[in-house]
Structure 1
Amino acid sequence: MQEVLLPVKDTTVIAQLDLLAKRYRGAAGPVMQVLSFVGGSAETLLARLPAPVRSGLEGATEKALLTATGAATRSRHVIGDRPDWVNRALTTAMGAAGGFGGIAGSLAELPFTVTMLLRAIQGIAAEHGFDPEDEEIRMECLRVFAVAGPLARDDGTDLGFFTARMTITGAGLNGLITKVAPKLAGVLGQKLAAQTAPVLGAVAGAAVNYAFTSYYQEIARVHFGLKSLARESGQDEGLLREELVARIR
């Protein structure tokens, strides 16, 4: 690991960055265990999907993100934020139902799972002191999906996407969704293929959803943990993010 020098040698900040880097590196662990169980790999999972599903996945993901963005925010006025384990339990049940129904059931379950994931991310943002109904924070929540998926060989550079600034308008939000959708589509394609593993069905669907929910919850805690650290320490968020990326590499 290369040596990183902070402008202010604050040992508390350095320790927090080390913890966030450790959390980021360990986020994909549950996913890798599940995929080992179903016999999948990043290289083979997408090939399992029928060609029409693969070709339509990006469009379906973009549509799911658009739906989830509104639904997750509206639901905050009806249902309070839930602990991580509750969100994992809910998406696990959805994955079981989707896996039981094969590829058709998994596709039908997809938008509900994306909405649940986004709502969980919003809850983590609120836990760190940010308002999920603020337009900028809504976009920050979406940026969590821009991180390379748990099967990618991510060197930390995708964290830089978090710092990209766009005009906070409806067009800006939609523009961000079109940028996030292709990357998330690849991740969701792997999820779909894994949860429709022959014979395993509902069991695979439940396990895959549990693991992917855990992954994005951890990534959200890294993202908003860093933003919170910048706010509390008074240090530049962009600089702290560069320090974090250096530790991840």
Structure 2
Amino acid sequence: MSMNALDNIVPMNHFETMDSVDIRDLERAKALLESAGLATRLTDLLGTPIEKGLEMLPERWNRRVMQITRSALSKAVQSAVLTMKTSHNKEPSKFWHKVAVGTTGGIGGFFGLGAMAVELPISTTIMLRSIADIARSQGEQIKDPDTQMACIETFALGAKSCDEACESAYFTVRAALASTVSQAIEHITQRGLAGEFSPAIVRLIVQVTDRFSIQVSEKAIAQALPAVGAAGGIVVNTLFMDHFQDRATGHFIVRRLERKYDPALVKRIYSML
């Protein structure tokens, strides 16, 4: 919604405590966070309804995807965030991360579903590094446990927003993860992220996996289509990365504004946009 249209609905005194530039940034963040889900984007790209493929999957497939996704996310957490270095670069390196993930997508496109256990950990690690890079570009301190957990949290934000009756899928997901995130941050602050994961970090990975595995299934189905092949797998993986880069950008814009303003104010204005 444009600012002019917004003025006709909400009196400007609701926004007097937030700078107009920041309101536009928040509007952009909402557009990125509440945009079409991955299944819709894949359907538009391939002309095949991905949702129908999900409905036809056997229960054992869902369990296998959950196992692979959880393992991939665990490996990514251990390697990606820990190796990120502090940098003063303002703009994140989105393009090169897309190239890297697109290349691994060729594996899935060529070998099909059987390659997912090999390809997904690599793709997820690259994606988490990209998410951390985006966080850094929005002023986050990458070695801060709060930032590290917010990067992991991003994988739970991949689904499309709930229906219009819902307050906001974005804030609903964050609220659902808040307690586990807080416990994980406390553990990392005291003991660090290296070594064996604490129960709190394991719980967070499990919670995020529940949501992230849906997009993983959508991606896998798209790559398994006979007409896709290795070249199509590259395109699918690039779209997969682009989807989560958008979610990460929106997420860390909101967090930047929450550091500048009262988080309750940010949430209230977000709901009005």
TM above 0.5, yes or no, is yes
Tell me if structure 2 keeps the 8 A contact 1:195–1:205. yes
Alignment partner of 1:132 is 2:142: yes
Distance (Å, rounded) in 2 between the aligned partners of 1:84 and 1:90: 10
What's the counterpart of residue 192 of structure 2? none
Distance (Å, rounded) in 2 between the aligned partners of 1:80 and 1:173: 29
Moved more, 101-110 or 4-13: 4-13
Distance (Å, rounded) in 2 between the aligned partners of 1:153 and 1:6: 26
Q: Deviations over 1:210-234 (max 9, x none)?
A: 1111111111111111111232xx3
The alignment partner of 1:101 has SS state of: helix
Q: Which residue of 261, 264, 269 maps to 1:235?
A: 261
Say which one has the larger Rg: 2
Alignment partner of 1:17 is 2:26: yes
Displacement of 1:33 in angstroms is: 4.5
Q: 1:11 to 1:158 in 2, by over 3 A?
A: closer
- Structure 2 letter corresponding to 1:144: T
Aligned sequence identity (%): 24
What's the counterpart of residue 199 of structure 1? 227
Displacement of 1:185 in angstroms is: 0.7
Displacement of 1:25 in angstroms is: 4.2
TM-score in terms of structure 1 length: 0.84
Tell me if structure 2 keeps the 8 A contact 1:65–1:177. yes
Q: Which residue of 95, 103, 109 maps to 2:119?
A: 109
Displacement of 1:193 in angstroms is: 0.4
Alignment partner of 1:142 is 2:152: yes
Q: 1:98 to 1:64 in 2, by over 3 A?
A: same
Q: Deviations over 1:7-54 (max 9, x none)?
A: 7254333222222223334575x8745423323334213246565332
Give the gaps of 5 or more residues in structure 2.
Answer: 2-8, 188-197
Alignment coverage as a number of residue pairs: 243
Q: Which residue of 65, 73, 82 maps to 1:57?
A: 65
Moved more, 109-118 or 163-172: 163-172
TM-score in terms of structure 2 length: 0.77
Tell me if structure 2 keeps the 8 A contact 1:99–1:205. yes
Q: 1:40 to 1:48 in 2, by over 3 A?
A: farther
